[in-house]
Structure 1
């Protein structure tokens, strides 16, 4: 058996360790740097490499860093705690992990272990500041375990999940000694199910001592780049940054192998952005109380004061806001910067940065703009007006007691009718707070500034914002298109109509009709529940979440959680209504359900043969879905500061066996995501060919300069028709059953019947993407 020193030596020989030079393993990056230097970027290249190196040395003594002393003091306290910890019966002067001399981590310096903890936390800052996706204990412990494994050179761990156990112990010490991080055990009950997710959260102490001074932005793992990112190729497994490698396909070491996707990624990451200083200045200087702010997030301290927003979520919004402003301030003086992009295993494309991105929250988007302005031209003013109306949340109007879409002309008219208010906001946004009432206040404020520029300069005004054309429930659009389901297609606006249709409203109507139909034959229990819901509002807002998530295989239990979250109804009433909602889909979108059932039935056959599901998306990305049966392992660690007590966390570990249920549940959403990701790639490439160079894309939201929104309007529709013209379900089935032995093909289901939707009419639909 090799010694720990030998393991470390082997690892060092295989990993590039010179932070000041581009690793020799990345010749393509070197060629890219040479091109940048030839283009006059030499000084900026050096600055970019220093930024990437700084992110790899998060405990630097750079005196220029704000709040450096706070960081040093906190980390020193943490190291001291590890130096004095005694974890075994033997008297030791530093932390010793379970297993004594048999545990390779006990040969690793305590300072290196402490730095690995801070490194892992910095790598997850963006996730911990996300109020909608709390960071699980297993995720952070797993990330730290990987870093600890690297410290030992990849030596075998002591015991099952030995590195994860050590990671938990180190994180416990970090929480106890710094107070910057806390672990919470939440409990969510719905009927007989109980969920107890363990999650990590940044604390208010962290915000006060470290984040408020901007230090975190300096140490974020992945920051925007000051030079164009390394272009992707079909064969590259890593790219983006000059030095820090990011995977082409997240969570894998596979190349993309698709010219369509590579071209789209390179177009997206070539877009130049800069900080919108006017919006940033308002965000940094506005200090009012929560009631006056009307729910806007300002200065990292101001959060929406809704009664139904949990304290943990409000705090996460506060911290996310603080990190966003910190990161924006760090870039405020840069002429331009870039976001490197990559994709997930289904093909969905994302910026690879940690804290800020064009796909961020409202404050983040409001503080960004294109570095290169585009004259509005003849039609740009109209699209800017429509954009303002949409951001204000005024894109719908009540007609005959129902919400319907405002027409494009009505949206433009709304903005012109509210021009006086818009100009008042621009003149003094601190005193004139009407913008805070908007659905997306920060983006609305940014658009107000643009409107003022348009009024001053007319069509020559160089706009730096993007008009966004959003899909009308994209998942349903994709399934309706590929099955030619005219009913579902009409509801998600693939069919032209004067004011558009409303899928969520249709579902609300179907649910109301269903509940009314139960009255005559209801027993006592059903009558009680009908009376309960008769006293509450059944509308599109209640049905929005279930309608959106059905296509992603959500079922009655998930719908029950959504209903309860929206209404606060008791478990039994929420679950009863959820079952009624689930029954409505067969009336409203039968073609969609048939397609989902087909995908699931094929999945069952392939999984029964012991094969994973492998297919190519329409854009050419190879996708493999192999969800395994999980087993649970309880990992115990000592409770810091309490002698004799221990606590446990449950880790989920994949076995070698495929899970029929999980494969079945995942196939429809993953297939649909691959299709809508292909649509986005096709649209980006088409627009690039038409001369568009500034992109602001978010999956099913297509953004480009206002002057080019007409091109976006046409491209989304033309590319959708082209995407849906082949038989996508048949192609998918051919792919996933290609390795299926002949004797196991008998149970394969027939393809579902196709409807009568004429794809050509999508060209004339105003509201399909609008």
Structure 2
């Protein structure tokens, strides 16, 4: 055990934990076997199993994996343990660990007395007061010395689902594909029984496009950018604090004041609580970074690796490895690059410059393509300095919104520009093309909404339209009209005058983004209140609340005007979901790629399990659906199933065209030299997706599934020509 190794505890003081666990599991296995076949003798079975095990070992050494799989498949008569059995075995293993693992301080901490040998883990019951009364919780407490040792490194972490060094198995069924030996499921159902059954019943032919898309994403080969990882390691070793890396040191707790003044004591306690909260957050962030860096260091010398993908219940694709992947933070994206390099070519060099502006941000990413390329050309000295002396030079790259991605781009761009033939320079860097408020793009296409389409770049323009600035401008117009009226007639007049100088894209951005997810008035009010509080614009708490109420109402009005079709479709989807949920049925539909989706929201019941440690209370799904959750979640879930379909359609087409492709929901990645071709494909697939009668098919599906229910009529739609998307340069950019 690692704890015993760290602190060099004498072996005589420790019971052999692994032996105890092995004996316990063998005893459990024999007991289960006897319960299944009480009349059979166990000795012949054990000899047969021993012979079979030897045969499997020989085949494994000869790398005859197919024969091994066939043997295991035909001789594995065991069934998965149920939740009760897993919990009981898990608790017993924890109990064995507590009985076995001991700790003692380092030798230099011994005083005159004998060494303090104590259990490394202790089980205690704690009482917590709640509004409904007191509740008791079981807690496994870790000795401070053990915890301190664990915090120094991430090496104790077990990460079974690592990136693969060989291409993942192609998906052929619900639980067949991806990893060679680890359990792999095509969807993360999280115990949702109906969703799992729907997938198992679905014909294989119907799911073939989904299989192809996941296979495409899993076949993309990645590698670690060693130069960027080296910079990150240096920053982390020196204490973090740069490029959004958390400080590796905690904030010291404030000293207790030498006073009896209750006000000062309360103030001190408030500061202590804030510092503890901040330190707790830092600890979580440090653990996250350590995990990511541990994987990066392990994979850095590999020629390449692969990320098997599966789906969430809505049909969005995710890498199965959870830590270092391209869906992660700027740290992850800066470290990762395509294993295959491709020459930049004429267009690729230009896209590399545009990509630099995109990851630099700060408003530069809102310029035209020409303006973004010019930004890179105007900062050549900074680019070269960042690539050559990332930490010793001017550190220009640290000013970027995505600093590590900016650094990786500077390195690739400087290499190309210094080459006698920039177009032939090999590039491994993924170039991103992102949708413009993608959820609203899908709503605008569904509703054939001209005004909404123009706001989210479904139509061509000289520069990208910024939907957040557009909404902010409309909010400002409304407030100016209100501010011009008589204050005696309307209290909002004073609020409008107070807020006119505060309205900008940042104030409304979060509300506009979450409008796709059905943000409520209360949600919008709280979002805007936080933005105003950050600016310290209004000191009085009551006035701040009133101003936030007014600003939220005005923002939602502006959204309703600009995206009228989107609001009507969202309302229609919610009404349909309510009709179904009132019959105690979950909302279910089939995506355009044939994936069956069942919303998992059901009421939870309590289930008690008596274990060797204590009685555990677990939650289980009941037969009753959550009506409100089914209704409010359906519009965003449905749109997410559409954006997932668009991404998978694009992935399949890119693979057929010979492109490397990676997708992060509404962000599509490929080599710089292939961006133009990917842009053409993704626009074609978007038009192809929405030329189908999606809402009509959905309503028809509802009516066939629930013939006795009455559903509202389809919302009215506009006359926007979808084929305009094909000519829009900033649809994805």
- TM-score computed with the length of structure 2 as normaliser: 0.73
User: Is the counterpart of residue 602 in structure 1 residue 576 in structure 2?
Assistant: yes
Residue 658 of structure 1 corresponds to which residue in structure 2?
625
Residue 274 of structure 1 corresponds to which residue in structure 2?
223
Residues 663 and 669 in structure 2, CA contact (< 8 A), matched pair in contact too: yes
Post-superposition offset of 1:293: 5.3
Residues 246 and 282 in structure 2, CA contact (< 8 A), matched pair in contact too: no
User: Is the counterpart of residue 223 in structure 1 residue 190 in structure 2?
Assistant: no
Post-superposition offset of 1:756: 1.7
Post-superposition offset of 1:446: 0.7
Shift of the 533–655 alpha-carbon distance from structure 1 to 2, 3 Å rule, reads farther
Shift of the 416–245 alpha-carbon distance from structure 1 to 2, 3 Å rule, reads same
**Inter-partner Cα distance in structure 2 for 1:492 and 1:544:** 14
User: Is the counterpart of residue 554 in structure 1 residue 577 in structure 2?
Assistant: no
User: Is the counterpart of residue 565 in structure 1 residue 503 in structure 2?
Assistant: no
Residue 245 of structure 2 corresponds to which residue in structure 1?
297
**Paired residue secondary structure (1:261):** helix
Residue 374 of structure 2 corresponds to which residue in structure 1?
413
Residues 250 and 279 in structure 2, CA contact (< 8 A), matched pair in contact too: no
Residue 89 of structure 1 corresponds to which residue in structure 2?
none
1:612 to 586, 593, 596: 586
Matches within 5 A, 1:414-493: 414-432=375-393, 433-457=395-419, 458-493=422-457
2:343 to 375, 387, 392: 375
Shift of the 211–263 alpha-carbon distance from structure 1 to 2, 3 Å rule, reads farther
**Inter-partner Cα distance in structure 1 for 2:231 and 2:689:** 43
Residue 739 of structure 1 corresponds to which residue in structure 2?
705
Post-superposition offset of 1:612: 2.2
2:150 to 210, 224, 232: 210
CA deviations over 1:94-144 (Å, ceiling 9, x no partner): xxxxxxxx999778774455779xxxxxxxxxxxxxxxxxxxxxxxxxxxx
Residue 303 of structure 2 corresponds to which residue in structure 1?
335
Residue 713 of structure 1 corresponds to which residue in structure 2?
679
User: Is the counterpart of residue 753 in structure 1 residue 691 in structure 2?
Assistant: no
User: Is the counterpart of residue 317 in structure 1 residue 285 in structure 2?
Assistant: yes
Is 474-483 or 548-557 further displaced after alignment? 548-557
Residues 344 and 423 in structure 2, CA contact (< 8 A), matched pair in contact too: yes
**Paired residue secondary structure (2:432):** strand
**Inter-partner Cα distance in structure 1 for 2:179 and 2:713:** 47
Residue 589 of structure 1 corresponds to which residue in structure 2?
563
Post-superposition offset of 1:726: 1.2
Post-superposition offset of 1:584: 2.4
Is 445-454 or 697-706 further displaced after alignment? 445-454
Residues 247 and 282 in structure 2, CA contact (< 8 A), matched pair in contact too: no
**Inter-partner Cα distance in structure 2 for 1:625 and 1:319:** 33
Residues 545 and 562 in structure 1, CA contact (< 8 A), matched pair in contact too: yes
**Paired residue secondary structure (2:188):** coil
**Paired residue secondary structure (2:245):** coil
**Inter-partner Cα distance in structure 2 for 1:310 and 1:446:** 31
CA deviations over 1:568-618 (Å, ceiling 9, x no partner): 274454344323322322211100011111111211222233332221111
Post-superposition offset of 1:239: 2.8
Shift of the 342–105 alpha-carbon distance from structure 1 to 2, 3 Å rule, reads closer
**Inter-partner Cα distance in structure 1 for 2:435 and 2:444:** 13
**Paired residue secondary structure (1:210):** helix
Post-superposition offset of 1:761: 0.9
Shift of the 574–229 alpha-carbon distance from structure 1 to 2, 3 Å rule, reads same
Residue 286 of structure 1 corresponds to which residue in structure 2?
235
Matches within 5 A, 1:47-126: 110-112=92-94
**Inter-partner Cα distance in structure 2 for 1:587 and 1:765:** 23
User: Is the counterpart of residue 704 in structure 1 residue 670 in structure 2?
Assistant: yes
Shift of the 297–11 alpha-carbon distance from structure 1 to 2, 3 Å rule, reads farther
Residue 518 of structure 1 corresponds to which residue in structure 2?
482
Matches within 5 A, 1:135-214: 169=138, 172-173=139-140, 176-178=141-143, 209-210=149-150, 212-214=152-154
**Paired residue secondary structure (2:301):** coil
**Inter-partner Cα distance in structure 1 for 2:592 and 2:674:** 26
Shift of the 107–414 alpha-carbon distance from structure 1 to 2, 3 Å rule, reads closer
Is 558-567 or 413-422 further displaced after alignment? 558-567
Is 726-735 or 464-473 further displaced after alignment? 726-735
CA deviations over 1:391-430 (Å, ceiling 9, x no partner): 1115538xxxxxxx31111111111111111111111111
Shift of the 273–212 alpha-carbon distance from structure 1 to 2, 3 Å rule, reads farther
Residue 661 of structure 2 corresponds to which residue in structure 1?
695
**Paired residue secondary structure (2:729):** coil
Post-superposition offset of 1:656: 2.0
CA deviations over 1:277-325 (Å, ceiling 9, x no partner): 10011111136988x955432796799xxx9995544443333222211
**Paired residue secondary structure (1:232):** strand
User: Is the counterpart of residue 247 in structure 1 residue 185 in structure 2?
Assistant: yes
**Inter-partner Cα distance in structure 1 for 2:524 and 2:292:** 33
Residues 211 and 326 in structure 1, CA contact (< 8 A), matched pair in contact too: no
1:544 to 487, 506, 509: 509
Post-superposition offset of 1:512: 1.7
**Inter-partner Cα distance in structure 2 for 1:391 and 1:12:** 62
Residue 684 of structure 1 corresponds to which residue in structure 2?
651
User: Is the counterpart of residue 670 in structure 1 residue 637 in structure 2?
Assistant: yes
**Inter-partner Cα distance in structure 1 for 2:214 and 2:317:** 7
**Paired residue secondary structure (2:705):** coil
**Inter-partner Cα distance in structure 1 for 2:281 and 2:453:** 36
**Paired residue secondary structure (2:523):** helix
**Inter-partner Cα distance in structure 2 for 1:724 and 1:11:** 59
The structure with the largest alpha-carbon Rg is 2
**Inter-partner Cα distance in structure 2 for 1:725 and 1:482:** 9
Shift of the 651–328 alpha-carbon distance from structure 1 to 2, 3 Å rule, reads same
Residues 154 and 287 in structure 2, CA contact (< 8 A), matched pair in contact too: no
Shift of the 241–587 alpha-carbon distance from structure 1 to 2, 3 Å rule, reads same
Query: Would you say how many aligned residue pairs link Structure 1 and Structure 2?
Result: 591
- TM-score computed with the length of structure 1 as normaliser: 0.69
Residues 362 and 442 in structure 1, CA contact (< 8 A), matched pair in contact too: yes
Q: Structure 2: any 5+ residue segments left out of the alignment?
A: 1-26, 38-45, 54-59, 70-83, 99-134, 190-194, 252-273
**Inter-partner Cα distance in structure 2 for 1:456 and 1:240:** 41
Residue 362 of structure 1 corresponds to which residue in structure 2?
330
User: Is the counterpart of residue 766 in structure 1 residue 726 in structure 2?
Assistant: no
**Paired residue secondary structure (1:737):** helix
Residues 283 and 298 in structure 1, CA contact (< 8 A), matched pair in contact too: no
Residues 588 and 596 in structure 2, CA contact (< 8 A), matched pair in contact too: yes
Shift of the 598–103 alpha-carbon distance from structure 1 to 2, 3 Å rule, reads closer
**Inter-partner Cα distance in structure 2 for 1:635 and 1:301:** 41
Is 429-438 or 573-582 further displaced after alignment? 573-582
**Inter-partner Cα distance in structure 1 for 2:87 and 2:357:** 58
